[in-house]
C-alpha cells in the first residue's frame, strides 16, 4: 500500500490506462486535466503549451467559450434524434457549411475515417452509375505514405506496416502511387477503371510531407481530363491550419471561401473532420456537388449519430470562430515566423536537419536514423520544459499549436524549443 501511495497522481492515472486500456497508443507520459486556448494543465497543475492540438482538431484553441456554449446549450435541449426524423439544427448547419465551402451538398458523419469511407463509397457508386465503369472493377488511386484513418478498408491501402500488418484480408480496388509524382499519376490514370484519386494536400501523419506547389492543382487537372473524381482529404490540413481556409486554396490570402481565386483547386469531393468541431465533439463531413452526391439515395448510407443536433450546432460555431478570429491569417503569418525561427535554430545545431510545412502545420526533421528514439527523447525533454509535441514517422517532430496562438506566445515556444534542442546532449 505504501508503494501505491508513493506514486504521483500522474503515475497512478498512467497505470490505470496501462492496466485497463488496450495498448493501441504510446502517449507521452503526461496526464492532462484542463485546457484553455493554447494551454493545457496536467493533474499536478503544471502548465504546457499544446503544440499538437489533438492532431489539428483544436485549431480554435482548447475549450473555446463560444464552442463550449454552443455544445452545452444544445445538449440541454436535444442531443440525438437519429436521421429517422428531421431535427431543428441539421438543415441550418447544412446550409451554412455548403455555403461556407461552396458545394451543393454535405453528408454529415462523425469521425474522419467515416468521412473517408463515405467518400470511397460515393466514388465507387458514381463510377458505376454515372461514369459507366463495369461492375466491381472500379479503382481508386491513393498515395504512398497516406494516412486516411483506421478502418479495414482504409488500412488496406496504407503502406504503414504497423497500421496494416495482420489485419488482412485487405479490401481490393486501390492503386497506390508515389506522392508528389505527376508522372506516376499520369501512368495510373491510363487505367480506364479509375474512379477517383484520394489525396492529402499535405501528408500530416507521414511527417508533414509538403508536395511541390503545383502538385495538387496539376493532379486535379489530370484527373478532370480523365473524368476521375479528385477527392481531397483535408481532415488534418483543412479549416485554417495551413494558412488558408483549406490547403487546396493554395496561397490564397482571403479569410473565407472564394471560388474566383486563381490558386484554388476545387476538389470534386472534400473531406473534413477534426477542427470542424474545434475538438469539442466528433464531427466530420463530406462535401460534393449534386452530380456526385445524388448517387446516394435513402437507405444506402448513414450513421446513427451523423448530423445530430449537437454536432450541427457545434460545427456552425466552430466555423464561425475560424472566420471571426481570422485564424487562417494568423496561421499564415505566424507559420512564416515559426519557420524563420526554426531555420535560425538549425543554423546553431546539427541535431535538426530541416523544417518544413505550411501555415502552422510544421515539422522538424531530426538528424538521426529514422528508427532511432531521438525524436521521442526530444519530445520528452520539450515536455519537461513546458511544451507538448509528438514524434511522427521516422524521427520527425510535428509542431501544430492551436491557431489562436499569439506572436508573443509563439516566440515563448520558440525559446523553449531552442533551449531544449541546444541543451539536448545525446551524441548523434
Ligand atoms: C486524423 C485523420 C483522419 C482520420 O480521422 P479520425 O477522426 O481519427 O478517424 C483521416 N485523414 C487524415 C488526413 C487525418 O489526419
What's the mean pLDDT in 70-79?
98
Give residue-wise pLDDT tens across range 15-53. Answer: 999 999 999 999 999 999 999 999 999 999 999 999 999
Burial of 385 (0-12, 13-18, 19+ CB in 10 A): middle
Cα of 281 vs centre of ligand 1, distance in Å, is: 14
**Over 80: is that where the pLDDT of 253 sits?**
no
pTM of the model: 0.97
Query: Which residue is it, cell 463510377?
Result: 127
Which of 240-277 are b and which e, b meaning 16 or more Cβ less than 10 Å from the residue's Cβ? bbbbbbbbbbbebeebebeeeeeebbbbbbbbbbbbbb
**Over 90: is that where the pLDDT of 88 sits?**
yes
Give residue-wise pLDDT tens across range 295-321. Answer: 999 999 999 999 999 999 999 999 999
Question: Quick one: pLDDT at residue 425?
Answer: 75
The confidence band for 180, taking pLDDT boundaries of 50, 70 and 90, is very high
Give residue-wise pLDDT tens across range 336-385. Answer: 999 999 999 999 999 999 999 999 999 999 999 888 999 999 999 999 99
β-strand pairing of 194-199 with 229-233: parallel
- Ligand 1 atom nearest residue 236's Cα: 15
Give residue-wise pLDDT tens across range 361-370. Answer: 999 999 998 8
Q: Which CATH number fits domain 3-60+327-423: 3.90.1150.10, 3.40.50.150, 3.20.10.10, 3.30.460.10?
A: 3.90.1150.10
Question: Quick one: pLDDT at residue 1?
Answer: 46
Give residue-wise pLDDT tens across range 256-290. Answer: 655 556 789 999 999 999 999 999 999 999 999 99
Which residue's CA is the closest to the ligand 1 atom numbered 6? 112
Where do you find CATH 3.90.1150.10 in the chain? Answer: 3-60+327-423
Question: Quick one: pLDDT at residue 270?
Answer: 98
Write the class of the CATH domain 65-324. Answer: alpha beta
Q: How far is CA 403 from the centre of its chain?
A: 14
- Ligand 1 atom nearest residue 57's Cα: 1
Question: Quick one: pLDDT at residue 428?
Answer: 54
Question: Quick one: pLDDT at residue 256?
Answer: 61
What's the mean pLDDT in 63-88?
98
Q: What is the CA radius of gyration of the chain?
A: 22
- What is the phi-psi region of residue 102: left when phi exceeds 0, alpha when psi lies from -120 to 50, beta otherwise? left
Pocket probe for ligand 1: among 147, 206, 234, 284, the residue whose CB has the most ligand atoms within 8 Å is 147
Catalytic residues: 147, 233, 274
- Ligand 1 atom nearest residue 113's Cα: 9
Cα of 150 vs centre of ligand 1, distance in Å, is: 8
Question: Quick one: pLDDT at residue 261?
Answer: 65
Question: Quick one: pLDDT at residue 229?
Answer: 98
Choose between 5 and 191: higher pLDDT.
Answer: 191
What's the mean pLDDT in 213-232?
97
What's the mean pLDDT in 189-207?
97
What's the mean pLDDT in 43-68?
98
Where do you find CATH 3.40.640.10 in the chain? Answer: 65-324
Pocket probe for ligand 1: among 54, 59, 116, the residue whose CB has the most ligand atoms within 8 Å is 116
Pocket probe for ligand 1: among 235, 239, 393, the residue whose CB has the most ligand atoms within 8 Å is 235
**What residues line ligand 1, using a CB cutoff of 6 Å?**
55, 111-113, 116, 147-149, 200, 204-205, 233, 235-236, 273
3-state secondary structure the chain: CHHHHCCCHHHHHHHHHHHHCCCCCCCCCCCEEEEEECEEEECCCCEEEECCHHHHCCCCCECCHHHHHHHHHHHHHCCCCCCCCCCCCHHHHHHHHHHHHCCCEEEEECCHHHHHHHHHHHHHHHHHHHHCCCCCCCEEEEECCCCCCCCHHHHHCCCCHHHHCCCCCCCCCEEEECCCCHHHHHHHCCCCCEEEEEECCCECCCCCECCCCCHHHHHHHHHHHCCCEEEEECCCCCCCCCCCCCHHHCCCCCCCCCCCCCCCCCCCEEEECHHHHCCCCCCEEEEECHHHHCCCCCCCCCCCCCCCHHHHHHHHHHHHHHHHCCHHHHHHHHHHHHHHHHHHHHCCCCCEEEEEEECCEEEEEECCCCCCCHHHHHHHHHHHCCEECEEECCCEEEECCCCCCCHHHHHHHHHHHHHHHHHCCCCC
**Over 80: is that where the pLDDT of 2 sits?**
no
Mean pLDDT, the chain, whole residue set = 95
What's the mean pLDDT in 95-103?
97
Cα of 168 vs centre of ligand 1, distance in Å, is: 21
What's the mean pLDDT in 138-153?
98
Amino acid at each position: 500500500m505504501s508503494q501505491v501511495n508513493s506514486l504521483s497522481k500522474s503515475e497512478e492515472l498512467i497505470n490505470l490506462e496501462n492496466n485497463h486500456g488496450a495498448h493501441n497508443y504510446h502517449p507521452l507520459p503526461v496526464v492532462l486535466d484542463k485546457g484553455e486556448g493554447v494551454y493545457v494543465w496536467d493533474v499536478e497543475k503544471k502548465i504546457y503549451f499544446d503544440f499538437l492540438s489533438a492532431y489539428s482538431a483544436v485549431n480554435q484553441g482548447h475549450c473555446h467559450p463560444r464552442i463550449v456554449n454552443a455544445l452545452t446549450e444544445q445538449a440541454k435541449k436535444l442531443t440525438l434524434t437519429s436521421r429517422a426524423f428531421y431535427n431543428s439544427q441539421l438543415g441550418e448547419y447544412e446550409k451554412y457549411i455548403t455555403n461556407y465551402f461552396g458545394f451543393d451538398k454535405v453528408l454529415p458523419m462523425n469521425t474522419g475515417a467515416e468521412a473517408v469511407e463515405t467518400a470511397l463509397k460515393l466514388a465507387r457508386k458514381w463510377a458505376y452509375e454515372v461514369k459507366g465503369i463495369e461492375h466491381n472493377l472500379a479503382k481508386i488511386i491513393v498515395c504512398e505514405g497516406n494516412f486516411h484513418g483506421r478502418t479495414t478498408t482504409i488500412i488496406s491501402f496504407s503502406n504503414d506496416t504497423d497500421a496494416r500488418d495482420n489485419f488482412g484480408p485487405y479490401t481490393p480496388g486501390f492503386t497506390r502511387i508515389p506522392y508528389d509524382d505527376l508522372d506516376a499519376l499520369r501512368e495510373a490514370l491510363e487505367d480506364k477503371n479509375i474512379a477517383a484519386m484520394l489525396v492529402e494536400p499535405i501528408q500530416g501523419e507521414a511527417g508533414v510531407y509538403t508536395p511541390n506547389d503545383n502538385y495538387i492543382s496539376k493532379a486535379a487537372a489530370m484527373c478532370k481530363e480523365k473524368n476521375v473524381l479528385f477527392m481531397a482529404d483535408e481532415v488534418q490540413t483543412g479549416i485554417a491550419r495551413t494558412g488558408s481556409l483549406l490547403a487546396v486554396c493554395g496561397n490564397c490570402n482571403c479569410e473565407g471561401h472564394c471560388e474566383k481565386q486563381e490558386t484554388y483547386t476545387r476538389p470534386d469531393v472534400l473531406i473534413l473532420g477534426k477542427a470542424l468541431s474545434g475538438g469539442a465533439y466528433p464531427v466530420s463531413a463530406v462535401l460534393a456537388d449534386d452530380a456526385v452526391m445524388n448517387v446516394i439515395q435513402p437507405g444506402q448510407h448513414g450513421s446513427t449519430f451523423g448530423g445530430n443536433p449537437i454536432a450541427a450546432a457545434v460545427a456552425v460555431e466552430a466555423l464561425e470562430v475560424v472566420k471571426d478570429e481570422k485564424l487562417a491569417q494568423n496561421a499564415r503569418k505566424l507559420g512564416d515566423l515559426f519557420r524563420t525561427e526554426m531555420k535560425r535554430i538549425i543554423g546553431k545545431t546539427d541535431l535538426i536537419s530541416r523544417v518544413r510545412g505550411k501555415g502552422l502545420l510544421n515539422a522538424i526533421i531530426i538528424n538521426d536514423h529514422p528508427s532511432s528514439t531521438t525524436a521521442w527523447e526530444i519530445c520528452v525533454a520539450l515536455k519537461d520544459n513546458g511544451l507538448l509535441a509528438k514524434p511522427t514517422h521516422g524521427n520527425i517532430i510535428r509542431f501544430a499549436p492551436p491557431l489562436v496562438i499569439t506572436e508573443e506566445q509563439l516566440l515563448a515556444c520558440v525559446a523553449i524549443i531552442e533551449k531544449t534542442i541546444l541543451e539536448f546532449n545525446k551524441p548523434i
